[in-house]
Structure 1
Amino acid sequence: MVKGWHGWVGTFTGVALITVAVLPLAALAVWALARRRRATGSTPAWAWRRSLAEVGIVYGTVPWVWLTMLPGDRAGAVPGRASLVPLRDLFAILSSEPVRATVQIVGNLLVFAALGFFAPLRFAALASVPRILALAAGCSVLIETAQYVLRLDRVSSVDDVLLNAAGAGLAALVSRRWWRATARVSSDRPRAGPVPGG
């Protein structure tokens, strides 16, 4: 059972339950945004695709970022810790605790997966795997820096950055087949007519 505010917002179980609970609201947000865009003259395909991408980025990313920022038991009492040697932490945990390592790897791959999947569908400028990798890596560096500065009793690791970026890149590859469809649908959007008297 989840008890108290901390149980809801300060634990993995609480965050997972909140994420599931707000799924209907996320679906409603997609519908409302698409309906508003259709009312302004957008084509149905463009309106739905863009609305789904916007909500998907937020809904699929915020809970994971929230989890990465949960403080440990000794938060504030211990100094920030950093691991800057690539793959050292990953190999160490794989050799000692394979189950925990698997969970950690999968979790890190999912942090920016929604961003990698939906961002190219929403923003034409991000319709490139290298750009998605750079964006996810930059966001991950910000998270790791915040963990270190805020002394959250977490290890700020370069391996997390690599895995976060890799997850976003893989998700972008999965959605790549729809990038051109998005560009085509966007080109079908109604354009503003000439200004009267202009």
Structure 2
Amino acid sequence: MTSNASLPSPARRTRGIMLFVLATLVLACAVFVVRRPLMMSAPACMAGRWHGCFDTFNGVVLLTLAALPLAALVVWALARHRRAAGVMSAWRISMAEVGMVYGTAPFLWMTLMPGGGAGTVPARVSLVPLRDLATMGPIGIGGNLLVFAALGFFAPMRFAASASVPRVLALGAGCSVLVETAQYVLRLDRVSSVDDVLVNATGAVLAALASRRWWRTTEAPADRPQPTPVGAR
């Protein structure tokens, strides 16, 4: 098989470029809409102060957006290293690895952010399913859907062992249980709710379904260097 066989077709390449441009436009529009709340945390973040930056949702979102070029640079460096080693699907693997970390870490930080009564109020837990959904509101439900969305989207692209809906569901639920347990044990002035686990796991599954066409399979390992063909003598 020649090297040209592994290149994407012009139609696929054009579609990929269009999707990238569309995603960039959507991100730019979202940033424009929320620019004022984000800029409220800019002075504290630029000064390196914890209060007003790292302990606020606006500050974490602002830092996440600021770190986007660095994440893209890491993807490029990893992909270049893998391509030099002859690894197939170097870009997909690198993007999946960075995407899982970049898309999950900020939400974990915000989820484990202590409340005003952290360490003083007793730990609270809610084990009745669907009871807390009414009090979450659209923003709360949307945020909980996004907590492990990046993990659900990219994990099946990187690890064949997680490339199934039940496994992604178990992965999202397991990670959510760990987060809720940490909230309870550390007494962060947050309610450890079973509804958070349900919504977090649902978000991971929905994101995984969105990336299903790029899931990695065991029949086509993507991270093994390909043997260099021996030239004819």
Tell me if the contact between 1:121 and 1:182 (Cα under 8 Å) persists in the aligned partners.
no
Identity %: 67
TM-score (norm 1): 0.87
* Counterpart for residue 86 of structure 1: 129
Q: Which runs of 5+ in 2 are unaligned?
A: 1-39
* Counterpart for residue 107 of structure 2: 64
Whether 1:140 aligns to 2:176 is yes
Question: CA distance change for structure 1 residues 115 and 192 in 2, over 3 Å: closer, same or farther?
Answer: farther
Q: How many residue pairs align between the two structures?
A: 184
Question: CA distance change for structure 1 residues 6 and 125 in 2, over 3 Å: closer, same or farther?
Answer: same
The AA in structure 1 aligned to 2:199 is L
Tell me, in whole angstroms, the C-alpha distance in 2 between the residues paired with 1:115 and 1:191: 31
SS where residue 77 of structure 1 aligns?
coil
Tell me, in whole angstroms, the C-alpha distance in 1 between the residues paired with 2:222 and 2:177: 32
Q: Tell me the CA shift for residue 184 of structure 1.
A: 3.7
Whether 1:179 aligns to 2:224 is no
* Counterpart for residue 7 of structure 2: none
Which residue among 162, 179, 193 is the counterpart of 1:126? 162
Q: Which runs of 5+ in 1 are unaligned?
A: 94-99, 194-198
* Counterpart for residue 67 of structure 2: 22
Q: Tell me the CA shift for residue 179 of structure 1.
A: 1.6
TM-score (norm 2): 0.74
Tell me if the contact between 2:90 and 2:223 (Cα under 8 Å) persists in the aligned partners.
no
The AA in structure 2 aligned to 1:157 is S
Tell me if the contact between 2:87 and 2:223 (Cα under 8 Å) persists in the aligned partners.
no
Tell me, in whole angstroms, the C-alpha distance in 1 between the residues paired with 2:197 and 2:228: 42
Q: Tell me the CA shift for residue 51 of structure 1.
A: 0.1
Q: Tell me the CA shift for residue 39 of structure 1.
A: 1.3
* Counterpart for residue 82 of structure 2: 37
Runs of 4+ in 1 over 4 A off after TM superposition: 180-183
